[in-house]
Structure 1
């Protein structure tokens, strides 16, 4: 299993090298093609490889903060789960989305929150809203 310290180091190295925590800029810098498409009601995004090319596809009907989170999530799959195509499916309940999905969610939250700490006594929901992470994401991180 991936250790959290390794994930932190991976994220810090990306941010240091490319001088941004913006998942769209990071994906472009890494040569990952980003596409926006109508993926229907159940899919927020997906990551796949085809003929050595890597793609992140994001549902074009999502609000901007969700598009940003999904891009970060799919970037997590690229960095953490090399060679595995995974779909980030909309959860209709708060059941555990599986180990690889939890890791990609944690990667996304760590990437997007890098350099920004919660204020003293700030609720998670308020913190997420302030830094542009959909507040529903906190449920995806729990087992």
Structure 2
């Protein structure tokens, strides 16, 4: 899957790189609710309804955009994968691939080429910090 192409297509289609606005444009349901643990967000698809759930009670505000974009990545790139089921029933065999794709998607969305061009005087690490992208994921940008 060409994640970068998928991101660029979505930005063009939706006219924004804002993950919340993109979810709304795509008709993805968004809920804010406790997830009962250490998970900041979750994506589920039930009866063909895509839903992103964000736990605002424990999510650090500076990570909101990244976590939301990560869950959006699941909805867009791997919409039929249930990562919780994969983790519990296959010892994570496919979940690492699914999580890799979602992290790549979130990084490409929040640090898309247009955003980097518009802020060319700043380092990619400073921009990642502003966008809430963990430094360890900056390597997704080539």
Shift of 1:72: 0.7
3-state secondary structure, aligned to 2:40: strand
Is contact 1:77–1:86 with CA below 8 Å preserved after alignment?
no
Aligned counterparts of 1:25 and 1:121: Cα–Cα separation in 2: 25
Deviations 1:114-135 (A, max 9, x none): 22227468362x23123x2243
Cα RMSD, aligned residues only: 2.6
Shift of 1:58: 0.6
Q: Which runs of 5+ in 1 are unaligned?
A: 88-96
Matched, 1:112 2:110: yes
Shift of 1:43: 0.6
Matched, 1:11 2:7: yes
Change (3 A) 1:121 1:104: same
The structure with the greater share of residues assigned to strand is 1
Change (3 A) 1:139 1:76: same
Change (3 A) 1:113 1:134: closer
1:129 aligns to what?
129
Within the candidate set 20, 23, 27, 1:27 is matched to 23
TM-score between both structures, scaled by the size of structure 1: 0.76
Within the candidate set 47, 55, 68, 1:51 is matched to 47
2:72 aligns to what?
75
Q: Which runs of 5+ in 2 are unaligned?
A: 85-94
2:137 aligns to what?
138
Shift of 1:45: 0.8
TM-score between both structures, scaled by the size of structure 2: 0.76
Shift of 1:54: 1.0
What is the count of residue pairs matched by the alignment? 127
